Amino acid sequence: MQRTFLLLVLTFFACSTKDDVPDTLEAYLKQTFAHVARIEDFFIAAGDRKPKETDRISATGKEVFDMTVRLFESLLDQDEDGVVDRPPLVAALAKHLVFVIDHTDVTDKEEEKIQSQYGNYVMTMKSDIWPYMPSFNTSNCDLTLTKLNTSMWRPETYNALWEECFHTVTEAQNRIDPSFSFEPSSVLGGYMQADISAGTYDISEQNNMEGGNYDFVTAVNEYVHQIWLINACGSDEILNVHQRAVLARINTAGVPLTINTDYALDLAEMVK
């Protein structure tokens, strides 16, 4: 009798634990977040809390979510025909990544939880500490820049969503194209090192500011983003020879070069 009771208790707890954790990432996101969208099997999820640093005082969590969806739609459908340009890239996004928007107390927890339970690396927009500036667009970039010579540079009123969406796409590209690597021995790493060796680009100031923790791989990742942004804003003439080589490599790899905040087609499906 005692053994039977113990087996029943263990079975109850096993079932309860299983039921508490949905079997699929989609089910978990729908259970956990206020807003969920999918582009094929790549998921974007968001909470409802307002962004804290923004140039639109009325901005809501839903607005940040909606813009995130548009940015991903634009990046993945560059010719705007309503069909993803590169199915393997979207498949890599779906297999390896997920994008989450919320305040840091949520994103920090979900980064660990989602990866441990579903295996997807969580890219985030931390809307309480990163700027959401919806007025920033390709016709209103105002880079105030004559050359790219430091990893410290960002536009004064930049919308952090652009950077995080772009990084998510390059993380997917990195997983399907070993030659699109950020390692010191990579093609992209070699271009940045050549720029540094020529005295035309610096990462030491940022590394000192971060107590020596600004590693080379992160620096290359950010370098690629800076060059992409300058080009997207129509200021590629300021890029030096090393940076133009990076831009050419981005283009050759098929990484999207443009971004449209007003993308108007329904590439994504709203699932919640």
Size of the chain, expressed as the number of residues it contains:
272
Give the residue ranges of DSSP H helices in the chain. Answer: 2-20, 25-32, 61-76, 87-96, 104-118, 160-176, 187-197, 204-209, 216-232, 241-253
Over residues 167-177, the mean pLDDT reads: 97
Amino acid 231: pLDDT? 96
Predicted confidence band of residue 5 (pLDDT cuts 50, 70, 90) = very low
Query: What percent of the chain stands above pLDDT 90?
Result: 88
pLDDT confidence of residue 16: 44
pLDDT of residue 12: 46
Q: What is the mean pLDDT of the chain?
A: 93
Q: Is the pLDDT of residue 159 over 70?
A: yes
Encoded amino acid at 107, one letter: T
- The band of 139, judged by pLDDT with boundaries at 50, 70 and 90, is confident
Could you report the per-residue pLDDT of 177-227, keeping only the tens digit for each?
Answer: 999 999 999 999 999 999 999 999 999 999 999 999 999 999 999 999 999
Q: What is the CA radius of gyration of the chain?
A: 21
* pLDDT for residue 19: 54
What is the reported pLDDT for 144? 84
